[in-house]
């Protein structure tokens, strides 16, 4: 087997031998191994800078005719949404004779994403969360490329606000909420996180998730393996702080007594709210997995996602002081917060951020996106992550 080196981004063509070596070194869940391997295989092929959507509407209509068994339905107002660093998104109106018109959202994998994720996993966890926290209704999901050329899911479209008026921030980073809006949202924000962690996930169809063994470090081994693999597949060059952090995480990895559903990206910018201050949708479940509740807590509390209030006090996700969040969370979830354990997940959060930033730069360099500016902006988060890793591991 070919020897492993962390310089895949500089290779013109990832070889099958190299891919096999990477897969052997960094164990991840089977579904995630499939999407990461698919990414590497596609990198070796001739590629476009942008996806061709000229035939999307007739292909989408043909798919819906097939899955519904009705040739009477119609689609209209197919519109591409802005963004696309993670997914290509469209809204459209679906008319069915029995129900009338409903606005839906189509989420498709782009040519290459800032995070490679699995549409079936996203669909299954959204279906499990219906009635637990507010989420869109998933109608159809396809994890192959036959119908539209890329994996996708179709869900109900929800109206709502993501950023306060005049926020003007890259979603989730330093987002400021005026005091009255903070007061309306903060308890809901904590309550929904507690509800996610209370879910008895064993009662639901999560066949695309590998269940980790309770009382072992298996969940963290898979989670760390995922971001190690992303870092080594996508980084342009090695970095001593990131390499040291990965080794430290591996050497100090805690066991997970009872795995819970971990959202993986729970923050401001990933929920919507109404004009009267009600959270009406928790979004972006694509990084969801089974693991330790401390992982979501560390992510929610990381300084990178915080914002100071009018007196300069840092608020977790711009909503409330982290200590207040932990107190409310423990009361609502029944979970205890272990400060020593939380430190490991603080380091993990910034290691993950460094890996995602490497992917942003790699995708821009490889000309696999039309969003070069956004990808380079995401790449800039790596400097913040490295500085925080150095501080935490000093």
pLDDT tens digits for range 8-25: 444 456 788 888 888 889
pLDDT at 370: 55
Domains and CATH numbers, the chain: 56-156 (3.30.200.20), 179-393 (3.90.1200.10)
**pLDDT reported for residue 20:** 86
Overall average pLDDT of the 246-265 stretch: 98
Structure confidence at residue 169 (pLDDT): 61
Q: Who wins on pLDDT, 11 or 373?
A: 373
**Is the Cα dihedral 186, 187, 192, 195 positive or negative?**
positive
Instruction: Please say if the pLDDT value at position 148 is more than 60.
Output: yes
Query: For residue 111, what pLDDT band results from cuts at 50, 70 and 90?
Result: confident
Q: CA-CA distance, 219 to 104, in Å (whole number)?
A: 34
For residue 376, the model assigns a pLDDT of 62
For residue 170, pLDDT beyond 70: no
Helices assigned H by DSSP within the chain? 16-25, 30-43, 56-68, 119-129, 179-198, 218-234, 240-251, 293-301, 322-333, 339-365, 372-379, 381-393
Q: What is the mean pLDDT of residues 104-127?
A: 91
**Sheet architecture: strand order including 74-80:** 74-80, 88-96, 100-108, 152-156, 138-142
Phi, psi values for residue 91, rounded to 5°: -110, 150
pTM summary value: 0.93
pLDDT at 104: 98
> Is the separation of the CB atoms in 369 and 376 below 8 Å?
no
Structure confidence by residue, pLDDT tens digits, 187-200: 999 999 999 999 99
pLDDT at 354 > cutoff 70: yes
What pLDDT shows up at residue 324?
Answer: 98
pLDDT for res 85: 60
Q: Between 382 and 206, name the one with better pLDDT.
A: 206
């Amino acid at each position: 087997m070919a020897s492993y080196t962390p310089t895949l981004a500089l290779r013109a063509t990832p070889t099958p031998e190299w891919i096999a070596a990477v897969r052997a070194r960094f164990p991840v869940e089977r579904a995630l191994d499939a999407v990461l391997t698919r990414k590497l295989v596609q990198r070796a092929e001739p590629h476009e800078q942008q996806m061709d959507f000229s035939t999307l509407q007739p292909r989408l209509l043909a798919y819906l005719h097939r899955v519904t068994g009705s040739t009477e339905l119609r689609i209209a107002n197919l519109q591409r949404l802005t963004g696309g660093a993670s997914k290509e998104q469209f809204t459209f109106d679906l008319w069915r004779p029995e129900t009338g018109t409903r606005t839906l959202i189509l989420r498709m994998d782009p040519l290459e994403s800032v995070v490679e994720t699995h549409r079936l996993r996203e669909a299954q966890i959204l279906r499990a969360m219906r009635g637990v926290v507010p989420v869109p209704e998933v109608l159809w999901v396809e994890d192959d490329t036959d119908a539209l050329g890329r994996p996708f899911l179709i869900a109900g479209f929800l109206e709502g606000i993501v950023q306060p008026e005049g926020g003007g921030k890259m979603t989730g980073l330093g987002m400021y909420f005026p005091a009255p809006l903070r007061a309306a949202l903060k308890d809901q924000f904590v309550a929904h996180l507690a509800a996610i962690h209370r879910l008895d996930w064993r009662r639901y169809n999560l066949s695309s998730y590998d269940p980790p063994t309770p009382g072992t470090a298996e969940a963290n081994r898979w989670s760390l393996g995922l971001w190690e693999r992303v870092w080594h597949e996508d980084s342009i060059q090695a970095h001593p702080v990131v390499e040291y952090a990965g080794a430290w995480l591996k050497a100090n990895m805690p066991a997970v007594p009872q795995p819970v559903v971990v959202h993986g990206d729970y923050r401001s910018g990933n929920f919507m709210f109404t004009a009267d201050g009600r959270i009406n949708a928790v979004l972006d479940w694509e990084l969801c997995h089974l693991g330790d509740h401390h992982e979501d807590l560390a992510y929610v509390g990381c300084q990178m996602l915080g914002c100071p209030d009018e007196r300069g006090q840092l608020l977790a996700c711009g909503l409330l002081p982290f200590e207040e969040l932990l107190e409310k969370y423990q009361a609502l979830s029944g979970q205890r917060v272990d400060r020593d354990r939380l430190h490991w997940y603080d380091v993990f959060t910034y290691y993950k951020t460094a890996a995602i930033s490497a992917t942003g730069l790699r995708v821009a360099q490889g000309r696999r996106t039309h969003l070069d500016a956004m990808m380079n902006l995401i790449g800039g988060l790596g400097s913040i992550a490295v500085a925080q890793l150095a501080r935490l591991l000093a």
